[in-house]
Structure 1
Amino acid sequence: MTPAAKTTTGPASGQKPRLNQEIVLSTALALVDAEGLDALTMRRLGQELGRDPMGLYRYAANRAALLDGVTELVLNELDVVPDHPDWQVQLRRIAHDLRLLALRHPNVVPLLVTRPLSTPLGLRPVGTLRPLEQILSLLSAAGFAPADALHVYRAYYGFIYGHILNELQELIVDADEDEALLRLGLHRLPAKEFPQLRALAPFLADYDGEAELDEGISILLAGLSARLADPKKTTQP
């Protein structure tokens, strides 16, 4: 009996896999992660994919569409459960998940923070609006009036993005230096003009992004919980 002939289900040897939007956007994200936003051009993306850049316009009309697609792809990694029974637990988890997402894709953070500002709300990609809709649903189910839920969302995301930007910009001048003032370069500041910063050097040098975020979220949630418990402080629909 002769052995059965081998069959293959993938493309023939040397044949390039068929492109689709998922492959194009995931490659664009990998390029941004590795080299930054400025590296993302149709020409460079075509090189990464081994394709004629003109063929990529089937999947993204222009560079702006690529940026929107990359933003959506990253935000799709964020898991929001709008019907979670404990809104405070959910908001705390989302905050930490968003921080980890930003640390995985630091070069995309400017897109997450500033990209929405360049487009009217109703014209933004639906993937960028989904977290907003889900969190508004979570807050409404918790008892916040619609207008208050929007206020909470803005304060919540404003705090998180502010924290993320601050954490990503934390710089150590000399990581091997034991003295906090020298590690941060604060010894260069005039002592009489910056006494508070110099005094906080040990705390600044031991910056813990996760713990700092959690402390800030605790403060924010405590205020929101008190506001929710006092009907006089809520905005009536």
Structure 2
Amino acid sequence: MVTALELIDVEGVEALSLRRLAQALDRSAMALYRHAENKGDLLDGVVELLLEQVVLDADAPAWQDELRRVAHRFRGLALEHPNAVPLLLARSLSTPLGLRPLGMLRPLEAFLQLANRAGLDDAAAVAACRSFFGLLHGHVLDELQGVVAYPEERDDLLRLGLHRLPLGEFPRMRSLASAMSAYDGAAQLDRLLEALLVSLAADLPPSG
């Protein structure tokens, strides 16, 4: 699956197939069918490989710090493998929860255990799980869609490619080019996380 991820990094998800992977591995396509029956199996394997690198410790003593750590690790992985990011959403939506590969479910299980240990009841833990992973997915997709078009340019309009827009349209985007160019993904993730953590803490039972 490492080679499959490397192909996606370079050529995109659309280019990945059993035949293309066999070429890269210098093996026959038939030999790969022992490991993956079709492209869907390949894609699931890539997602599992990515999620193995985002380990959530269900026994972490400080649950809020653990969620911060995992969130930034997830973001870092997304920036390392931007072509693979859509898979993290698409493959999760392609099958019912219980039919997904186990590697996709382990982060969810660990989160639910951590949330229960922190004091959230079952309903609040499930809601928190959806909110946390929804926040991560939404954030990385938003950050990646704002990729700078011409990083070597100093003029913000040129850096973002906004000079290509019709002159009389999108005036606010043009006037905010400097602010948009200065976007700090890590800082924005921190702001979103803190708002979520405050909300989750409000669902905890009173101490004492």
> What TM-score does the superposition give when structure 2 sets the normalisation length?
0.89
Q: Show the counterpart of 1:29.
A: 5
In 2, distance between residues paired with 1:164 and 1:97? Answer: 11
| 1:190 Cα deviation from its structure 2 partner | 4.2
Q: Which residue of 2 aligns with 1:108?
A: 84
Which structure: larger Rg?
A: 1
Select 2:67's aligned residue among 82, 88, 91: 91
Cα distance, 1:221–1:61 mapped onto 2, change above 3 Å: same
Choose from 3, 16, 20 the match for 1:40. 16
Contact in 1 for aligned 2:124/2:203 (Cα 8 Å) = no
CA distance in 1, matches of 2:100, 2:203: 31
Secondary structure of the residue that 1:228 maps to in structure 2? coil
State the alpha-carbon separation in 2 of the partners of residues 31 and 177 from structure 1. 29
Corresponding position: 1:130 with 2:79: no
What aligned pairs does 1:47-62 form with structure 2 within 5 A after superposition? Answer: 47-62=23-38
Task: Determine whether 1:165 maps to 2:141.
Answer: yes
Give the fraction of aligned pairs with identical amino acids, expressed as a percent: 48
**Closer, same or farther in 2 for the Cα pair 1:178/1:31, shift >3 Å?**
closer
The alpha-carbon deviation at position 199 of structure 1 amounts to 4.8
Cα distance in 2 for partners of 1:182, 1:30 equals 31
Q: 1:173 to 1:48 in 2, by over 3 A?
A: closer
Equivalences, count = 205
Q: CA deviation at 1:202?
A: 2.3
CA shift for structure 1 position 60: 0.9
Structure 1 residue 223, shift from structure 2 partner: 1.9
Please list every run of 5 or more consecutive structure 1 residues that lacks an aligned counterpart in the other structure. Answer: 1-24, 232-237
**1:219 partnered with 2:201:** no
Per-residue CA distance 1:68-124 (angstroms, 9 max, x = gap): 111111111112110111111011111000001111221111110111111011100
In structure 2, the residue matched to 1:235 is: none
Q: 1:61 to 1:141 in 2, by over 3 A?
A: same
Which residue of structure 1 aligns with residue 117 of structure 2? 141
1:157-196 aligned at under 5 Å gives the runs: 157-184=133-160, 185=162, 188=166, 190=168, 194-195=171-172
| Preserved CA contact (<8 Å) 2:119 2:205 | no
| 1: CA distance, partners of 2:119 / 2:103 | 26
* Aligned partner letter, 1:106: P
Could you tell me whether the CA contact under 8 Å between 2:57 and 2:110 is conserved in 1?
Answer: yes
User: Which residue of 2 is the match for residue 204 of structure 1?
Assistant: 180
SS of structure 1 residue aligned to 2:204: helix
Distance 2:203 2:77 in 1: 30
Pair 1:73–1:173, CA change in 2 (3 A): closer
Residues 173-227 of structure 1: CA deviation (Å, up to 9, x unaligned): 4445444345431774647x654x4453322110111111112111211222223
Pick the aligned partner of 2:127 from 151, 163, 183: 151
Deviates more, 1:173-182 or 1:163-172: 173-182
Separation of aligned partners in 2, 1:180 and 1:214: 25
TM-score of the aligned structures, taking structure 1 as reference length: 0.79
C-alpha spacing 1:66/1:178, structure 2 compared with 1 (3 Å):
closer
